[in-house]
Amino acid sequence: MAAITMSEVKIGRTTYPVKSGDYILYNGACYQFMAGDGRTLKQEGFTGYSNLKMPMTLVKKIPFIRMTKVSYSKDGMDFVKWYF
């Protein structure tokens, strides 16, 4: 399977560029856009966020079938990562 090439993701009113190593994490409850290199995506006061919750309207538009999927378990929880 070839990785999908998306250049940007819009969450809320802000558009975030998709860089190499970024991925989408599903933890069983919600989908999160994760910065693979640990960069800060959103800054609120003194708190920086390297992961952002994705709205379901955005999740429905992403073709997960064309993305690289990695499943793993940690501390009894199942996680799924989809790499761009």
Are 79 and 71 in contact by the 8 Å Cβ rule? The answer is yes
Listed as own residue / partner, the contacts of 46-53 with beta carbons closer than 8 Å and 24 or more positions apart are: 51/25, 52/11, 52/16, 53/11
Amino acid at 40: T
User: What are 12-37's pLDDT values in tens digits?
Assistant: 999 999 998 999 999 999 999 999 99
Report pTM. 0.84
User: Which of 10, 7, 17 is CA-nearest to residue 55?
Assistant: 10
User: What are 42-57's pLDDT values in tens digits?
Assistant: 999 999 999 999 999 9
Q: Could you tell me the residue ranges of all domains in the chain?
A: 8-83
